[in-house]
């Protein structure tokens, strides 16, 4: 599911991976990674040039190479997750450098820390509320999970199915005493055969 369309993995747009990163990376990381480009000269002066450039290379080259080779990615950018650690390192360096600009400005530092907190708040709150499903996070640019629903893959592992079954058991929709056959509909390509609901079979 990409931009509201069901596509085969070998029929996605060239910007597939880029758009997924932009819509699902926490704003804290995304904003600071982009911002680091504008203070790159300062970063290179303060830190080891080779290390900094390698961090950028480890983040950007795999994406560029995938676009160049028209490589197949299944369900979002989970096959590109290895670029995220170096992206976070660059993001952290950006904030440290930015903080140094306000070394003699206490108010400026407080404002900066407030901005950092605001940019991180959305992702933090989502993980606190959904500790089992952090991988379905969409940032405000992606419209959050509500904005992504019906347009992008969310729970592609089907992890939330158990929670849904537990809820139906709690509401009495499913129970071991049921005599009727219950059919559960899903968009997954492979599903178990319908059977009398016992709760355990759905798990």
CA–CA distance, 35 with 202 (Å, rounded to integer): 47
- Distance separating alpha carbons of residues 59 and 88, to the nearest angstrom: 10
Q: How many CA atoms lie within 13 A of 35 on its CB side?
A: 16
pLDDT for res 189: 57
What is the model's pTM?
Answer: 0.78
User: How far is 148 from 85, CA to CA, in rounded Å?
Assistant: 24
E strand residue ranges, 7-117: none
CA atoms of 169 and 74, how far apart (whole Å): 33
What's residue 202's pLDDT?
39
- Asked if residue 142 lies in contact with residue 23, where contact means CB atoms within 8 angstroms, the answer is yes
**pLDDT tens-digit series, residues 99-146:** 999 988 999 999 999 999 999 999 999 999 988 888 899 999 999 989
Helix, strand or coil, per DSSP, at residue 21 = helix
pLDDT given for residue 193 in this prediction: 42
pLDDT averaged over every residue in the chain: 86
Lowest mean pLDDT segment, chosen from 18-32, 46-60, 70-84, 88-102:
70-84
Higher pLDDT: 173 or 102? It is: 102
41-45, 89-93, 117-121, 185-189: range with lowest mean pLDDT = 185-189
The DSSP symbol for 187 reads: S
What is the torsional sign of CA 143, 149, 155, 159?
A: positive
What are the residue boundaries of the structural domains of the chain, listed by start? 9-148, 161-202
Share above pLDDT 90 across residues of the chain, in percent, rounded to a whole number: 54
Residue 82 and residue 87: Cα distance in Å, rounded?
9
Helices 84-100, 27-38: crossing angle, 10 deg rounding: 60
| Spatial distance between the Cα atoms of 190 and 201, rounded to a whole number of angstroms | 15
Q: Contact, 202 vs 184, CB < 8 A?
A: yes
User: Per this entry, what is the length of the chain?
Assistant: 203
36-75 pLDDT per residue, tens: 999 999 999 999 999 999 999 999 999 999 999 988 888 8
CA–CA dist 158, 179 (Å, integer): 27
């Amino acid at each position: 599911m990409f931009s509201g369309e069901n596509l085969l993995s070998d029929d996605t747009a060239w910007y597939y991976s880029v758009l997924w990163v932009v819509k699902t990376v926490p704003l804290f990381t995304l904003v600071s990674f982009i911002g680091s480009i504008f203070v790159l000269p300062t970063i290179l002066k303060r830190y080891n040039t080779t290390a900094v450039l390698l961090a950028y290379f480890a983040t950007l080259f795999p994406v560029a190479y995938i676009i160049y080779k028209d490589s197949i990615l299944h369900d979002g950018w989970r096959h590109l997750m290895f670029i995220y650690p170096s992206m976070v390192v660059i993001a952290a360096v950006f904030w440290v450098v930015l903080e140094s600009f306000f070394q003699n400005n206490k108010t400026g530092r407080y404002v900066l820390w407030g901005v950092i907190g605001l940019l991180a708040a959305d992702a933090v709150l989502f993980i606190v509320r959904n500790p089992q499903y952090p991988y379905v996070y969409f940032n405000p640019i992606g419209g959050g999970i509500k904005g992504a629903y019906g347009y992008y893959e969310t729970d592609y592992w089907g992890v939330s199915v158990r929670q849904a079954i537990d809820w139906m058991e709690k509401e009495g929709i499913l129970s071991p005493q049921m005599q009727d056959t219950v059919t559960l509909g899903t968009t997954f390509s492979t599903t178990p055969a319908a059977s009398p609901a016992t709760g355990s079979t759905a798990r």
